[in-house]
Every structure is written in C-alpha cells, then in structure tokens.
Amino acid sequence: MEASVPPRPDAAADSAFLGRDLTKIYVSGETEVHALRGVDFEIRKGEVLVLLGPSGSGKSTWLNVVGGLDRPTSGTLQYDGTELTTLDERDLTRFRRANIGFIFQFYNLIPSLTAEENVRLVTDIATDPMPAAQALELVGLADRRHHFPAQLSGGEQQRVAVARAIAKQPGVLLCDEPTGALDSSTGVRVLETLAKTNHELNTTVLIITHNVGIAGMADRVYHFLDGQIARIESNSHKIAPAEISW
Amino acid sequence: MVRALDLKLIRDLWRMRGQAVAIAIVLAAASATFILSMGVHRSLFETREVYYSQNNFGDVFASMTRAPRSIVARVAEIEGVQRAEGSIVQYAILDYPDRVEAVRALLQSFDEYGRNRLNLVTLKSGRMPAPGQPGEVVVDEAFALANNVRLGDEVDAIIYGRKQRLEIVGVGLAPNYINALAPGDIVPDESRFGIFWIGREALEAATDRTEAINTLTVTLQRGVSEADVIRAIDRITEPFGGTGAYGRDNHPSHMFLQSELDQLEAMVQVFPPVFLIVSTFLVYIVLGRMIRTQRSQIGLLKAFGYSDLSIAWHFLKFALAVTVLASILGAIAGIWMAREMTELYARHYHFPILQFSFAPSVFVGAALLAAFSSGLGAISGIWKAVRLTPAVAMSPPPPPVYRSGAVEALGQKAGFTAIGHMIVRHIARWPGRSAITVSGVALSIGLLFSTLHFIDASHFMLESYFFRSQRQDISITFTEPRNNDVIHELRQIPGVLRVEPVRGLSVEMSHGNRVERTALEATPPDAILTARIDEKGELVAMPRGGLMLSKQLADQLGVSAGEDVHVAMLGGRRTEAMMPVGALVDEFIGARAYANDQTIAELARDGAPVGSAMMLIDPLYREQILTKLKAMPVTLSIGDRDLEMSRFEAMIDENINTMMAFYIGFASAIAVGVVYNSSRILFSERAHELATLRVLGYHRSEVAVVLIGENALLVAVSVPTGLIVGHWLAQFMVMMFSSDLFRLPFAPTNATYAKSAIIVLVAALLTSVLVARRVMGLDMVRVLKARD
C-alpha cells in the first residue's frame, strides 16, 4: 500500500493501529451526534480484541473508522505506520483491499454467487490470496462450495463470509456481531474459525459483540461507553471458543 | 387537508421523480405523436372539407378535345347531376425575358359575368377580370408569392401559338388547384408553373373555341352512383374527343392531398403505439419494483385497516400522476410540432387559410390513451399489492433464489470473473425485466432505423428516377400529339446532341372488374435516354410483344406477367384490344405502362403520335436551346432534369428534416427512459451488494461495472434485435406511405444501420453512466447496517 505519510515517532513497532484523539460527529439535520469523543488506543499486531458496550456507545463507528469505511471528524489514525485520515477515497479503498477482512452480522453474501465465487470476489482483486477452495476448506465448507447462499444455512453463510474475509490473508479481521444471527453451536464454530485464523496466520482480530461471554477468548477487551473507551481489560487467561458460555 | 396516504404518494413521486419523468417523457412522446398526426390530419381534413363545400368543388370531371357549349345542358340533365359547368383550360408559356427556364401557366376560363358556381375562386387580393377586358387575369397565390407578382404587373403569354399580353388584376386560389402539378413534372414548382384564371370570352377568342369547351365539372346529388353518371357523361363526350370522366379519386389535386392524409393516418398507426407499448412496460417494471420495496408498508396500512381498494387506488394514482405529467408535456410538444407541420403543409398546399385547429377531442383522446397504457402497466403490481395479506407483507420478502442453470455452464466455460457471474445471473434471474429492457431499446433502435430509412428511401427513389431511368437533359412535352417531323425539327437546333421521341396514349386498362387510367408510352428500340429500371437498379428489357406494366399498376389491376389486360384508348380512335402483359417493372414513381413503338402504332392506328421528346444537349448551348424551345408553338412544357432533381431534393429535405429531428428525439427518449429506469431499479436492488463490494475493497469504477455491464450486455442484445425490428417497421412504413402517386423502396444504407445503433447506444451509455455515478454517493456503512 502507498505510504503517503511517514510513521509517527511514538508508533510502537508491533502496533497494528494507533489512534489519537479520534472524534466522529454525525450531523443530522440540526442535531449533532458525537459518536466518538476523543478516543486514544493502540492495537497490537496479532491480538484478539473484543469490543463491548451498549448500543450507541460508539463501537460500530469506531470499527468503521478503523476499517476505512468512514473518516473521523478529527484526530489521527495510523495503520502499520501509515496515516489513514489523510488518504483519499481511492487510497482508502486500496487500504481495505490490501489489509482488512470484514465479517458482518448479516453475512452480506452476494446471492447470485456461489460460496466459492463469493470468496473469489476477494481473491480476484487481492495481491497474495490463498485459493478460494482452500479458504472454504479452512471453514469446513469444501463440499458446499458450489451452493448459492439461499441453499446454505445461516451458520454456513457466515462461515462463507469468514472464508471470504480470510482468503486474502488480511492483516486485520473486523467482525461486527459475527455471531449475532446464529445459534450457540454455529456461533462457536464461527468463533473457532476466527481463533484459528488468528493463531495460524497471526491475523489481528477485532470483534464487536453484545455477548459478554465472547470476551473470554480475547487478549484484551475494550469497554465502550458514550463514545469513549471507558475501560480496557487484559485477559491473562484466554479461553477456547468451545468453552464460551452462550 | 391532504390525507396522509396522499402525502405518501406525493413524497414517493418526489423521491422517484427521475423515474417518473423518464416514463412521462416516453408517454409524452406517444401523446405528442398522436396529437401531431391526428391534429394535423384533422386540421387538414376539416380545412379541405370546408373549402370544398364553400367553393363548390366538383364531384366528377371530364376532359375532351373540343365540344360545343351546348353539351353542358345535356350533361346537366343526366339523372343525379346537381349542376354542370363547362370551361376551357389551356396551357401557355409565359415570356419572362430575363428568365431562361420555361415558365408555364395553365389558363382556366371562368365566366366573367359571375355565372360560375363550381370550383369558385377565392380572391386574396385585387378583383376578378372584368367583362370586355380580355387581357385581365387572376393568378394563383403560390405563383404570385414565388415570383413576386404584384397587382398591375404585365406578362406576355404565348397562348395557342400567339403572343398575348396579360395584366394581373387579382391573386386567388381555388379548390381544384390545391396542389398544382405541371404536365411532365413530379414535384410542384410554383416558381415555374402557375394557374391563371381568365375570362371565358377572352380564352374562347384566344384559342379559337367560340362557344366551345374542353373540360366539364359536375356536382352530384346526394346518394347518386358516381359510376352511373360517369358512364352517362362519357357517352355524351365521346364524339368530342372525350378522354373519360373521372371522380374526385382521380382528380390530381385531390389525389395528392388525399395521399398526404393517408400518410398522416399511417403515422398514427405506427408511432404512438410503439411509445405506448414501451410506457406500459416501464410503468409495469417501475411500479412493480416500488410495490416490492413498499411491501412492509403495504402490510402496515392493511393492518391499520386500509381496504384493498384504497391501496389499489393509491398505487394507481402514482401511474395516473405520471399520465397527467405526460399529457401536459405531450400536449405542449404535440401542439408545437403540429404547428410546424401545418406550416409546412400551408407552404405546399394552397388553402385560403390553413391553421392547426385545437380539437379538444384529440387531446382527450391522447390523454385517455396515455392513461390506458400506464393503467395497464400498473395492473400487475397493484394486483400483487392487493393480494398481500398483512402478516405476510410485514415479514421480509424471501431472498431471491439463484440456482445453477444453463447460464451457469456457459459462465463456467467462458471463465467469467465473479463480477461477470453477478451480471449474467442477475439478467437470467429477472428474465422478464431483462426482456423489457431489450425490447424497449430495440424498439428505440427500430424506430430510429425506420425513420432514417425514409431519407434512404427517398434518395434511392430519386437516384433511380433521375440518374438511372431519366438520362436526358431536357424533356419537351407537346401541346398535342405530333408526327416525326417535330423530332427532325428539334434535331436541327444547334447544340442538340440527341433527340428521342416518346409516343404516348391515354388509355383505360381493365382486368376483371378493376379499371385504371394511365399513360401508355413507347420509346424507339434504340433509345438510350430513358430506361426502365427495376427496384434493384437493373435494366428491364421491353418485351417483344405486349405490354410492360409498372408493378404499381399491375398491383392496382391485380394482373401478373403472362395475363391479358383490356386496353381502351381514351380519345383518338378509341380502339380497344386485349393485350398480354409481357413484363413487370418495379418503378417508384407513377403507375405507368410501356410498349414498343409498333404496339402503340397498331393500337393508335395513326402512325403513333409523338407526345414528348427527350433531348441530350451540349451544356454550352443550354440557354439558346431553352429560348428556342420556349418560342416553338408546339411546346406545352419543358422539363429540366437537373432543376427538377434539385427541386425534389429540396422538398424531401425540407419535409423530412423537420420530422427527422422530432423522431430522433423521440427514439432517444425511449432509449433514455428504458435504460434510466432499468438502471435505477438495478441500482436500488443491488445497492446492498454494491456496498459490500466497496467494503471488500472494490473501487468505485469496478463497482460501476456491475451496473453498466448489465446494461451494456442487454443493449448489445438489443442492437441486432432493434435492427430486425427496424427492418420490419421500415417495410411496414414503406407500405403504409406508398400511394398511387409513388412507392417508396426499401433500401436502407449502411449509414442508417450504423446511425440508428450508435445514436441509441450513446443515449443508453450516457444514461447508464449517469445512474452509475450514484455509486459515488453510496453510503457503505448505512447500507450494511440494514438487513437486505
């Protein structure tokens, strides 16, 4: 990716993201919504970070800004030494294309493409992707690769989404409520895939969830409240997804 | 107080204004072409009817060589005849010393004591000639305007071989000369040909026809058989060289006007239906989509207790609102175009006054058609809305199901990218809508093709007539049939390179119960200046014996090659014979018959009269030759091929260019309307997917490919389809527009294929890009928050 801004001196060598005083204000009509109020944070490469907090606390906005889907109103944000806030639309798209894998609550698969083709959507444009078939194998869906989304269960669809996200071997996986629409056993399978990716590919994994139990598998937990990180928790003992109580 | 549901309607309309306007424009094109054709037809028709009745246009007409005036009284006594009048018509050459080309006049006698009741002259200025003033004339308005003639002007005329000075005392027009064509001409030329009304006594004296006439005009009582009266008149005029009476259907001026009216009627049958069909489809897809997206709202309204009827009415009002907008736009465009057209007609047809008249019924008719077509398009969507039960409606619709099919195998073989699959499968998933887009754009190409083809057809006709079959520089028509001496005389003129006689007879041909009057012409076997050329441009050889008929005439008679027709001379010795049809020739202008010299001589029994001659000249001597010909007493008219051709071209260009601009606009409107609506629907359906692609790291331009690609593929299919539709439409129009006077060939040029495809492609592409620009404003975050 194009580095248009030199790394700031205080950036730690092993940090994936480094945010300083990030604010985001939405103006809707005559009212202003302060979604982020001066957030500072540092996310380390290869860590699993879980974001908890009530609805409207700013965690989705934060995730969108970090993922390059949205721009902060003020503040700075670096990824791997590159300042993101000054990138234009084209470079921000390149940043997402190269580094970020997204997983959403409602899967967002393209209904007209089969499982494998949904993965190929990403491998078609990535620089050093793994074969689509391999990504599907990683999520345990090798035998379902020619099925269309409408022919797959919710959990299977979400695993296709995970395969799609990991196929390009991204530096970061951003997951917005990845298990929100799934039952517990399916949810666990998805989380296991995420943990496996983190472990095997050293991918940084950021997970937004309402499910406090998921916090157990994180290295650290950010608690969001009123547009700020109210509290950061570190887990000395990570638990396996299978042990998470739903 | 506006009801809440109506507020919703207003806001829905505002939100979908682009699509509503796009449909309205196509619908407006239907209204406009309807108003144009019907309105102009009505204006022209009513003006003609009023003019005919106020000025007592005759019902039956007859010509003869010379008959005593007393036969008028005999004709008046025929049962069913209301009134009969006799007059003299005589061609004259006008001597304008500073003009090289021959200017001709048709002198038409009238009673200077005011006893005429038929074919009355309407004076635009001046007065009618006074009794005892033999030199006074009234000239027709078109001639006066074209030649800047003023009251009091004088001109020398060679009448019956004698020079006489004429004074213009009035300018007027009459219903029997609404369209005045000089003998030998195929295009009216008011600068070189005019009608001069002159006192009866003056013309009798000038033509040695004291108390004699050579034409008859008759009006009939209501409900009388025209054919019976014609037969009775023929019996009376036969001894006086009568060439057979005929009704309005064969009256040259009336025929010309009638063919124009027929063409306007043909237009109504072609253009508005195309636009109406497309609008119906557009309403169908747009309203259908709107109802699908408002599914949960419909459920909610039903849960609140709104009846099925009020919901149906709510959505129908959407379609009607579009209709109202379309009717207003269509009326404005229609009135404007109709005025332009009427002005054009007013230049070609000589009426006392011709204006576009606002007939409310035409506008009401246009609005009803528009309402019907958009209502028809709305039915299926509304029916679906009505059938939804609240509980089902409020739950999200089932996701679209894609399955592997035929398209699938194709895509796998072709090695499509994922984006390629998205495009192709979406088309296959919505075959109905894809078909509508393809047929809409195809119709637009077809319409454009058939319109542009008009220019091709006209030029081909022109080319065929002037360049292939008429190779002379000058043609000369004689006052009456001459013998070969006149040809020798012409050959003596310095600068004349070749002279070929054309022998001609007026005949009536019949086959079965069909009867047609035509000219039977013959040229010498070694003739090179005239040729019979068929539709493909090939020379057709004259059969050794028998006749060659133009295909037009053969069709009218219902006869084919090898069959016999009955031929009766009109005038002359009135011989009759059964003659075989040896060959047919596909000509575009006129419905004529040809034979060799010998056949004509046998039929005429008087050494075959020379009616006209074709001449090839040295251009350096052009002026001297024309001056000499003008002065010859045998000259009735002189045709100048180059002049006629440029005149014809000018007429085609003037008439067609105006129409062309309208129809290029309309055809593009269809393409824009169809592509805009299908793109907008595509965009709204796929917004979620497009946002997903953006999130996954696709650039805007790559995402836009999904939108533009689908349209491009559909439009690509439309091009060949459209050209096929165009072929069909063009052939249909050629058929509808052909009259007894001329026939349009089907002769599209490569440029027409290219132009019609390119214009529509550009319109479609621009529209598609316009919609694709919405990708720029795609809010990835908001779209992804919502469940699809």
Q: Residue A106 is nearest to which of B401, B417, B787, comparing CB atoms?
A: B787
Question: What is the distance between the alpha carbons of residues B391 and B372, in angstroms, rounded to a whole number?
Answer: 33
- Same domain membership, residue B666 and residue B778: yes
Domains of chain A, CATH where assigned: 15-243 (3.40.50.300)
pLDDT for the residue B266: 80
Does residue B157 sit in the same domain as residue B189? yes
The answer for residues whose C-beta is within 8 angstroms of residue B57's C-beta and 6 or more apart is B51, B118, B119, B175, B176, B248, B254
Do both B291 and B322 map to the same domain? yes
Alpha-carbon span B90 to B214, nearest angstrom:
9
B108 vs B406: which has the higher pLDDT: B108
pLDDT at A242: 87
Q: Which of A96, A102, A112 sits opposite B422 (nearest CB)?
A: A112
Q: Are residues B506 and B590 in the same domain?
A: yes
Which site among A90, A92, A108, A124 would you substitute to test the B interface, given the most B Cβ atoms closer than 10 Å to its Cβ?
A108
Place of tokens 């006893």: B115
What is the domain extent for residue B724? 417-470+643-788
**Is residue B166 predicted with pLDDT exceeding 70?**
yes
Q: Could you tell me which residues come within 8 angstroms of residue B146 by beta carbon, excluding any fewer than 6 positions away?
A: B190, B191
Angle at B15 between CA B14 and CA B20, to 5 degrees: 70
The verdict on residue B395 lying in a domain is no
**Domains held by chain B: number:** 4
Stretch B464-485: mean pLDDT, rounded? 82
Mean pLDDT of chain A, nearest integer: 87
A10 Cα distance to chain centroid: 24
Does A104 contact chain B (CB < 8 Å)? yes
Q: Which of B74-83, B598-607, B727-736 has the lowest mean pLDDT?
A: B598-607
Within its chain, how far is the Cα of B250 from the centroid? Answer: 19
pLDDT of residue B786: 59
One domain for residues B210 and B96: yes
- A90/B694 touch (CB, cutoff 8 Å), yes or no: no
B288 and B196 in a common domain:
no
Q: Which residues are CB-neighbours of A178 under 8 A, at least 6 positions away? A: A103, A104, A105, A158, A161, A162, A190, A191, A194, A207, A209
Average pLDDT of span B155-160: 88
Q: What is the pLDDT of residue B399?
A: 67
Are the CB atoms for B126 and B230 separated by under 8 Å? Answer: no
| A60-69, B528-537, B539-548, B600-609: which is most confident | A60-69
| Whether residue B509 sits in one domain with residue B449 | no
**Nearest residue on chain B to A71, alpha-carbon basis:** B781
Residues of A in contact with B689 (CB under 8 A): 110-111
> How far is B707 from B764, CA to CA, in rounded Å?
12
- The residue of chain B nearest to residue A147, with distances taken between CA atoms, is B403
Whether the Cβ atoms of residue B345 and residue B40 lie closer than 8 Å to each other? yes
For B180-194, give one letter per residue: b (16+ CB within 10 A) or e: bbbebbbbbbbbbbb
CB neighbour list of residue B699: distance below 8 Å, 6 or more residues apart: A90, A93
> How far apart (Å, rounded) are the C-alpha atoms in residues B645 and B463?
9
Q: Which residue's entry shows tokens 């014609």?
A: B230
pLDDT of residue B463: 80
Position B370 pLDDT exceeds 60: yes
**B280 and B332 both lie in a single domain:** yes
Distance to chain B for A44, nearest Cα, Å: 23
Residue of B262, B282, B265 lying closest to B29 (CA atoms): B282
- Residue B400 forms contact with A (CB below 8 Å): yes
ipTM: 0.83
Tell me which residue in B402, B699, B784 faces A150 most closely, judged by beta carbons: B402
* Mean pLDDT, chain B, integer: 87
Q: A112 to chain B: which residues are within 8 Å by CB?
A: 400, 402, 421-422, 425-426, 429
Minimal CA–CA distance to B590: which of B90, B256, B262, B350? B256
B55 residue type, one letter: N
Establish if B277 belongs to a structural domain.
yes
How far CA A160 is from CA of A132, A148, B479, in Å, comes to: 10, 10, 95
Query: What tokens appear for B785 in the block?
Result: 């928050």
**Chain B: nearest CA to A236, how far in angstroms?**
34
Whether the pLDDT of residue B56 is over 50: the answer is yes
Same domain? For B438 and B567 the reply is no
Q: Are residues B37 and B60 in the same domain?
A: no
Query: What is the CATH number for B602?
Result: 2.40.40
pLDDT (tens digit per residue) in B278-306: 889 888 988 888 888 888 888 888 888 88
- Considering only CA atoms, which of B331, B310, B313 is closest in space to residue B321? B313
- CA B347 and chain centroid, separation: 16
Closest partner CB to A110 (pick from B689, B694, B700): B689
Interface-testing mutation among B421, B425, B696, with chain A (most A C-beta atoms within 10 A): B696
Residue A181: closest CA among chain B residues belongs to which residue? B787
Q: Is B350 within a domain?
A: no
Q: List all residues of chain A from 54 to 93 with a beta carbon under 8 Å from chain B.
A: 60, 64, 67, 69-70, 89-90, 93
The band of A3, judged by pLDDT with boundaries at 50, 70 and 90, is very low
At B768 the three-state DSSP class reads helix
| Co-location of B686 and B610 in the same domain | no
Contact B341, B40 (CB under 8 A): yes
pLDDT at residue A12 is higher than 70: no
Would you call B154 helix, strand, or coil by DSSP?
Answer: strand
B268 in a domain, yes or no? Answer: no
Residue B408 domain flag: no
pLDDT at A2: 40
The pLDDT score that the predictor gives to residue B495 is 93
Predicted pLDDT of residue B70: 95
Q: Do B325 and B433 reside in the same domain of the chain?
A: no
pLDDT per residue as tens digits for the range B560-599: 888 999 998 877 778 888 999 988 888 777 778 898 888 8
Whether B401 sits inside 8 A of A148 (CB atoms) is: yes
Note the pLDDT tens digit of each residue in B422-433: 888 888 888 888
Amino acid at B586: D
Whether residue B485 lies inside any domain: the answer is no
Mutate to test the interface with B, among A122, A125, A153 (most CBs of B within 10 A): A125
Candidates B399, B418, B688; nearest CB to A150: B399
Interior angle at CA A205, CA A204 and CA A208, nearest 5: 150
Nearest CA in chain B to A108: B692
pLDDT exceeds cutoff 50 at A1: no
Q: Chain A to chain B, count of Cβ pairs less than 8 Å apart?
A: 85
Question: CB B401 to CB A89 under 8 A?
Answer: no
Measure CB to CB from residue B421 to each of A117, A122, A150 and give the nearest one.
A117
**Residue B661: its H or E element:** helix B641-695
- Cβ neighbors of B485 (< 8 A, separation 6 or more) are none
Say if residues B200 and B209 touch (Cβ distance below 8 Å): no
Reply yes or no on whether the pLDDT at A177 is more than 80: yes
A104 closest CB neighbour out of B404, B419, B784? B784
A153 touches chain B (CB under 8 A): no
Q: A108 at the B interface (CB within 8 A)?
A: yes
Q: What is the pLDDT of residues B310-327, one digit of tens each?
A: 889 999 999 999 999 999
Average pLDDT over residues A161-183: 89
Under the banding of pLDDT at 50, 70 and 90, the label for residue B105 is very high
pLDDT average, residue stretch B226-233: 94
The pair of structure tokens assigned to B381 is 């969507």
CB contact under 8 A, A146 and B404: yes
State the smallest CA–CA distance between residue A116 and chain B in angstroms.
9
Residue B11, domain member (yes or no): no
pLDDT tens figures, A97-135 = 999 998 888 888 888 888 999 999 888 888 889 999 999
Strand ranges across the sheet with A172-176 = A100-103, A172-176, A204-208, A48-52, A220-225, A228-234
Does B693 contact A121 at a Cβ distance shorter than 8 Å? yes
Least CB–CB distance from B418: residue in A98, A124, A126: A124
Can you tell me the distance from the alpha carbon of A107 to that of A110, in angstroms, rounded to the nearest whole number? 9
Tokens of B232: 């009775």
A113 contacts in chain B (CB < 8 Å): 418, 421-422, 425
A108 vs B695: CB contact, 8 Å cut-off? yes
Q: Could you count the other beta carbons within 10 Å of the beta carbon of residue B648? A: 21
Nearest by CB to A124, from B417, B425, B780: name it: B417
Q: A1 — contact with chain B (CB < 8 Å)?
A: no
Structural contact between residues B517 and B591, judged by C-beta atoms closer than 8 angstroms: no
Percent helix, strand and coil across chain B, each to the nearest 5:
55, 20, 25
pLDDT digits (tens, 9 = 90+) for B118-127: 999 999 999 9
Question: What pLDDT does residue A7 have?
Answer: 41
The predicted-structure confidence for B680-698, as pLDDT tens digits, reads as follows 888 888 888 888 898 888 9
Confidence of residue A4 (pLDDT cuts 50, 70, 90): very low
Q: For residue B219, is pLDDT > 80?
A: yes
Q: Does the pLDDT of residue A63 top 80, yes or no?
A: yes
Q: Is residue B606 part of a domain?
A: yes
Interface of B with A in 650-689 (CB under 8 A): 688-689
Say yes or no: A112 contacts chain B, CB-CB below 8 A: yes
One-letter amino acid for residue B345 of the chain = Y
pLDDT digits (tens, 9 = 90+) for B715-737: 999 999 999 999 998 998 888 87
CB atoms within 10 A of CB B443: 26
| A9 contact B CB<8A | no
